[in-house]
Amino acid sequence: MNYKELIPKLNKQKLPQHIAIIMDGNGRWADQHKKRRIEGHRAGVKAVRRIVETAVEIELAYLTVYAFSTENWRRSKNEVSYLLKLIMDSLIKEIDELNKNNVNIRFIGSKKELSKKYNKKVIETCKKSWNNNGLHLNVAMNYGGRRELLDAIQEIVADSKSGKLLEAEINENKVNEYLYTAGMPDPDLVIRTSGEERLSNFLIWQSAYSEFWFTKTLWPDFSRRDFIKAILDYQKRKRRYGARK
């Protein structure tokens, strides 16, 4: 059954509000095809495009993709600079199309290690989409869950010291407001490709009650059909949030 035939099987009332994806396996895909790693990443961008299109088609509210982690700086200098450029160039290339589709783009992550020029470009590009109220696409860029929590703790302490925040006001909702994802719903479903079954520092606070869906498929091969199948599988699950059956 192709993905077009699967879409009507989705229960529109039970669509996850937020799907987060750990796009893994670009390097292995390149190895399998006897190509260079960068070609794996290029194929990965094509997969991002088709999944964003599908997310728009099914009217998903939030999609977050893990594009570059705070740990990815450990890769070779060449791969790092290629990846950063690829992500930015893809976004610039696609911004008009994304806008046409009413997609609102945010970058989540730490701005610290990224160059000023890069940060400026990101904001200038994304700003064009900030009035859009269709799919919210978060690109996790220089993102690390522990770093996010650390940044939040530092800000909370600073605000508390300055009197802007009272100790009694610090609760889970307040912490949410200090995260990069402030104002967004937690991911209902986290997908990871390539057979690895771990979170790798991705949305560690936000995914406390997420459902997980793993596939051996490498990210560049991840299809629209795989995406819909993950959602159909999610719709069969019972979420209890720690309560009894």
Instruction: Report if residue 193 touches ligand FPP, rule: CB under 6 A.
Output: no
Strand partners, 191: 21, 213
CA dist 23 to 48, 221, 229, 241, Å? 9, 11, 16, 26
Instruction: Report if residue 27 touches ligand FPP, rule: CB under 6 A.
Output: yes
Site map (CB under 6 A) of ligand FPP, residues 135-174, x = contact: ----x-----------------------------------
Task: Tell me the C-alpha distance between 85 and 209, whole Å.
Answer: 34
The single residue among 20, 26, 84, 179 that binds ligand FPP, judged by CB under 6 A, is 26
The packing angle between helices 37-57 and 77-100, to 10°, is 20
- Contact partners, residue 52, CB within 8 Å, separation at least 6: 63, 98, 103, 135, 137
From 2, 11, 24, 201, the catalytic residue? 24
Instruction: Answer for the pair 40, 29: CB distance below 8 angstroms, yes or no.
Output: yes
Query: Hey, what are 49's tokens?
Result: 């495009």
- Contact partners, residue 90, CB within 8 Å, separation at least 6: 45, 48
Q: Which of residues 83-142 bind ligand FPP (CB under 6 A)?
A: 83, 87, 90-91, 139
For ligand FPP, which residue has the nearest CB? 27
Smallest distance, Å, CB 64 to ligand FPP? 10
Nearer Cβ to ligand FPP (28/36): 28
Task: Tell me the C-alpha distance between 24 and 207, whole Å.
Answer: 18
Per the annotation, the verdict on 188 as an active-site residue is: no
Smallest distance, Å, CB 91 to ligand FPP? 6
Instruction: Report if residue 28 touches ligand FPP, rule: CB under 6 A.
Output: yes
Smallest distance, Å, CB 181 to ligand FPP? 16
Instruction: Report if residue 48 touches ligand FPP, rule: CB under 6 A.
Output: yes
Residue with tokens 């008009």: 96
Neighbour count for residue 28 (Cβ, 10 Å): 16
Nearer Cβ to ligand FPP (30/152): 30
CA dist 166 to 148, 149, 220, Å? 21, 19, 47
Instruction: Report if residue 23 touches ligand FPP, rule: CB under 6 A.
Output: yes
Number of residues binding to ligand FPP, judged by CB under 6 A:
18
Of 41-49, 145-153, 159-167, 206-214, which segment contacts ligand FPP by CB under 6 A?
Answer: 41-49
Residues that bind ligand FPP (CB under 6 A): 23-28, 41, 44-45, 48, 65, 67, 72, 83, 87, 90-91, 139
Residues with a catalytic annotation lie at 24, 72
